Structure 1
Amino acid sequence: MACLMGLAVTLLVACQPIGAPPLSTPASVEEFIEGASGVGDPIFPLLGNGGYDVQHYTIDLSVDAARNEIAGATTIRSEAIHPLRSFHLDLAGLKVEEVTVNGAQASFERSGQELTIIPSSPLNAGALFTTFVTYAGTPTPIEDADLGFVAQGWNWRDGVIFVVSEPQGAMTWYPVNNHPIDKATYTLRITVEEPNVVAANGVLVEEIDHGDRRTFVWEMAQPMASYLTTVVIGDFVRVEETASTGVTIRHYFPPRYADQLTQAFANTDEMLTFYSDLLGTYPFDAYGAAVMPFPLSFALETQTLSIFGLDMATEGVNAHELAHQWFGNAVTLASWNQTWLNEGFATYLQRLWLEHKLGREFLETGMRRYYAMLSAMKTPAPGNVDARSLFSLSVYERGAWVLHALRLRIGDERFRQFLRTYFTRFKDGVASTEDFIAVANEVSEQDLTDFLQSWIYDENLPPIPEGTVSISSD
């Protein structure tokens, strides 16, 4: 997330049907368990669910954009990690109409955000199984006093629908294993009335004309955390080009502002080249921005299609959200108390883009000014934040200083090696602060544990390390 303002189901058939137990001795009844109702996240313990690993979601929605009503059918292909007699999905609101597992009717119960599913036959560990849920209603975003600047999930405003889900909102519009540790690939099939346009994650692979309605089919081929899924519906024009790196750049702009926004995002190609040279090849097939026709006071790095308020369409915010595609999206935090791993990286990489444009002195001067501000404000450490501090100065600016301090300590060449190694090692997965420190130790060939822990966890800011900085994408 950027700084706040100012800052039809296809069943696969083979010799071994999906969902059939593996060819091994079945587990006894006593060994089957109930899948956990949460993964025990330090901040959001009920987010996510245990006992299985989702491989792919197919989300089929018919949307009445004028009434803000949906009829949904989500197909979830998963692998059982434990022998399961029941399992959970996260779904807030909406009326569940039917649930099947491997084509057989399943029982289900609702309690708050928990959708408990009891298959007609228990699932053995290692079994692949397909869950099909139909549901309908008006999606209602989550209002959280700790994150008052954003309504999480499905939003409807001035005839436009947009989804911004960090951290909890995905469950407002589809049943999901709603925690970053369970990434999956996605197919999104969204049907809307003409002349609405639908933008979503990944690549638009098909448009199906039904006369007065149209279905837009989007494929997200690389793993994605649930909070990064998005759908945008409304009156938008698509502005497209092919980047120098070969990546498709496709923006969705309100027609009234399309010309000026095209100019505002004109250097996206240059940014893609810079970050790809610095960090490693861009991890997805496409990128772009969807800009709302109204202010939001934030932007969000929804995978391959960042969401911007009209007030946030600036070069710096564009650089920040694009950087997140590497760190935050391809490499994702393992728990929500470590948002610095997303925001600290994106903030510092945004500064590296500006250093690339404006020079070394700009970066050095700016980082020291931020250091003085953080010291004067006694800004808390970024390493273990609570719900109120998920998107605070601690994670953005003190998080950025963790990276700057590491760079000063180990020098530019090894810092570049660190960025590329960390990205390559955890791409398409999740990482923790411990993983961050371990890679820094490995690349630097030093034990930097105490040094980095002081920057990440100590109440007071450590002294600035000796060193000079100069980084280039060459």
Structure 2
Amino acid sequence: MRPSVRRTAVLRREAVIVTVPVALAALLAAAGPASAGPIGSAGVGDPYFPLAGNGGYHVGHYDLTLGYDPGSRHLTGKAVITARATQRLSRFDLDLEGLKVTGLTVDHAKAEYRRDGQELVVTPRHTLRKGERFKVTVTYAGKPAPVTDPDGSLDGWIPTDDGAFVVGEPQGAMTWFPANNHPLDKSSYDFTITVPKGRTAVANGVLLGQRTKNGTTTFRWRQKEPMAAYLATATVGTFQVEQYTTRDGIKVYDAVDPREAAAAKPVLKKLPSVLEWESKLFGPYPYRAAGSIVDHAPNVGYALETQTRPAYDRAPDLSTLVHESAHQWFGDSVSLTSWKEIWLNEGFATYAEWLYSEQHGGPSAQTAFDELYQRPASDDLWAFPPGDPGSGANIFGTPVYARGAMTLQVLRTAVGDRTFFRILRAWAAEHRYGHGTTPQFVRLAERLSGKDLDALFHTWLYTAGKPNTP
């Protein structure tokens, strides 16, 4: 995510898989508070969003069929969720906020269900065995509305004057489809989205086709590589569309609101070169598809790294494009296990901005670091440690982005350029399509550098206030 000036001003300058790996299965099975009997927990126990996600199963694939009318703001949906139980399950939850469920089956048999806040509590006809694959089909409808995050920003299905800007970090996926809504659970996706003729529906991955009939157009998208639910999108609007394939074989799909087209065009032209540059630094681009969604959504105030196709609330500048593109490696391909470690996403993407400046004729990363370090101890930059921001209200705060990036610059100085860039590439490669934690990153840095780095990371990630020495 890259906040805009309307959300926070400080960063404008500083700039189909059904199986689950054993390690992830263990995490999901152990996640969340203990419950009596074979009941999946209502959340995975995230310290900042305790009801996010669900225990007891892993979703391998979502098949989402949606219809949206921008005039009435009415959404109809059918979600076919293919999952595997990671424990015995007589009951399990899905995350779904606001929309009315009109039908639910488990393996084609009607199942009991009830609503409990954001939880859709499902009781299948028969207890599911540990390791058993099962299919949940949910039909639902209503007027989706965004949630308000702890920092006051909107998140989820956000209506616009010509459609909807759909961005899900950290909670919003549940506003438009039933989900196991935590980064711990990553899945493949198919989207079939029908909108009025003249509107475009943009989702993740590769466009499989579109068809106009009887005054509506249906778009089919496929995101094959695993994706956390918060990175899914189904943005709808009046867009100018450009499609092409890069010389590396990446299928690019850009959808731009006409009101933003003039400002967006020169920046979006640089996307292939930005991806090529980042691939040289971080390793091969993780996906078959790329692109941009540039909407006109003045009430949003941020851009988001929706997988393969970042969503921008307005025409982005080049630094923002670099930032959201870097997230395709750091945050999307390599995902969090806890929202408290979001510096692994935002610190890395912010540092990519610094590197781009350094290698394209602008100020160096060290210059960016030095300018920040000059800020007084009372500055918001030092308000909380980036490795554990303290609450969900702080996860998009200045320390996570800027001090997170400063941590990487301190590491680079300590281990030297050659080792530092080996660390970045190894991190992206060793955790590709999976998850990573801060302790794992520290161990990797120590292994490749041969240095004891505990004090460095403790000071810059976990110590309150301004560090005494840069």
- How far apart are residue 207 of structure 1 and its match? 1.2
Deviation at 1:259, TM superposition (A): 4.1
Q: Does 1:400 find its partner at 2:402?
A: no
Which of 300, 303, 308 matches 1:304? 308
Deviation at 1:457, TM superposition (A): 0.3
CA distance in 1, matches of 2:376, 2:250: 38
Gaps of 5+ in 2: 19-35
SS in 2 for 1:84: coil
Check if 1:34 corresponds to 2:36.
no
Contact 1:405–1:464 under 8 Å retained in 2: no
In the alignment, which of 80, 94, 97 is matched to residue 85 of structure 2?
Answer: 80
Aligned residue identity for 2:434: G
Give 2:239's aligned residue.
Answer: 236
What SS does the corresponding residue of 1:147 show, helix, strand or coil?
Answer: coil
Summarize deviations over 1:98-148 as a string: whole Å, max 9, x none: 11011111111111011111111110001000000011111111023x222
Match of 1:253 in 2: 256
Q: What is residue 3 of structure 1 aligned with on the other side?
A: 3
User: 2:97 maps to what in 1?
Assistant: 92
1:282-339 deviation per Cα after TM superposition (whole angstroms, max 9, x unaligned): 00111111111243431111111111122x5100111111011110111111111111
Shift of 1:464: 5.0
The change in CA–CA distance for 1:374 and 1:398 in structure 2 (over 3 A counts) is farther
| Residue of structure 1 equivalent to 2:384 | 380
State the distance in 2 between where 1:3 and 1:163 align.
16
Aligned residue number for residue 65 of structure 1? 70
**1:188 lines up with 2:191 in the alignment:** yes
Q: Which residue of 2 aligns with 1:216?
A: 219
- 1:267 and 2:270 correspond: yes
- Distance in structure 1 (CA, Å) of the matches to 2:186 and 2:376: 34
Give the aligned residue type for 1:137: G
Quote the Cα distance in structure 1 between the aligned partners of 2:365 and 2:443.
27
Please tell me whether the aligned partners of residues 247 and 287 of structure 1 are also in contact (alpha carbons under 8 angstroms).
yes
SS at match of 2:46: coil
Amino acid paired to 1:62:
G
* Matched position secondary structure for 1:331: coil
One-letter amino acid matched to 2:368: G
Q: Does 1:351 align with 2:357?
A: no
> Which AA in structure 2 matches 1:449?
D
1:226 equivalent in alignment to 2:253: no
Q: Is 1:321 aligned with 2:324?
A: yes
Find the residue that maps to 1:373 and give its secondary structure. coil
**One-letter amino acid of the counterpart of residue 217, structure 1:** R
Distance 1:372 1:225 in 2: 37
Cα deviation, 1:342-400, whole Å, max 9, x if unaligned, reads: 100000011101111015x5332222001222645233210111122110111001100
Return the alpha-carbon distance in structure 1 between the equivalents of residues 416 and 3 of structure 2: 28
Q: Helix, strand or coil: the match of 2:452?
A: coil
Q: Secondary structure at the match of 1:222?
A: strand
Distance 1:45 1:256, change over 3 A: closer
For structure 1, which segment, 191-200 or 246-255, has the greater mean C-alpha deviation from structure 2 after superposition?
246-255
**Alpha-carbon contact 1:245-1:272 (below 8 Å) kept:** no
Q: CA deviation at 1:256?
A: 4.1
> CA contact under 8 A between 2:41 and 2:56: conserved in structure 1?
yes
Q: Paired residues, what number? A: 440
Residue identity matched to 1:89? L
Percent identity (aligned): 39
Q: 4+ residue stretches of structure 1 with deviation over 4 A?
A: none
Change in Cα spacing, 1:245 to 1:379, as seen in structure 2 (3 Å) is farther
What is the one-letter code of the residue matched to 1:366?
A
* Unmatched segments (≥5 aa) in structure 1: 13-30, 466-474
- Corresponding residue SS for 1:429: coil
Give 1 or 2 for the bigger CA radius of gyration.
Answer: 1
Of 356, 364, 367 in structure 2, the residue corresponding to residue 365 of structure 1 is 367
Residue pair 1:244, 1:273 contacting (<8 A) in 2 also? no
In 2, the alpha carbon distance for the partners of 1:351 and 1:109 equals 49
Aligned partner of 1:450 among 452, 455, 467: 455
Distance across 1 between alignment mates of 2:297 and 2:58: 38
* Preserved CA contact (<8 Å) 1:239 1:262: no
Name the TM-score, length of structure 2 as normaliser.
0.90
Offset of residue 271 of structure 1 = 0.6
**What's the counterpart of residue 284 of structure 1?**
287
- Give the Cα–Cα distance (whole angstroms) in 2 for the partners of residues 343 and 188 of structure 1: 28
Work out which of the residue numbers 31, 56, 78 in structure 1 matches 2:61.
56
* Superposition pairs of residues 107-146 of structure 1, within 5 angstroms: 107-144=112-149, 146=150
Q: Flag the 1:406–1:231 CA change in 2: closer, same or farther, 3 A.
A: same
Paired residue for 2:422?
417
User: Which whole-Å deviations, capped at 9, do the CAs of 1:204-225 have from their partners, x for residues lacking one?
Assistant: 1021332211210100011111
Whether 1:178 aligns to 2:181 is yes
Provide Cα deviations, 1:392-450, integer angstroms capped at 9, x if missing partner: 11100110011111100000010011001111111111211111111111111222122
Q: CA deviation at 1:461?
A: 3.6
| Higher mean displacement: 429-438 or 290-299 | 290-299
- Give the match's secondary structure for 2:236: strand
Give the stretch that moved more between structures: 253-262 or 108-117: 253-262
The 3-state SS of whatever aligns with 1:258 is helix
* DSSP 3-state at the match of 1:421: helix
Aligned-pair Cα RMSD in Å = 1.8
Report the Cα distance in structure 2 between the residues aligned to 1:283 and 1:233, rounded to whole angstroms.
25
Shift of 1:463: 5.0
Distance 2:282 2:367 in 1: 24
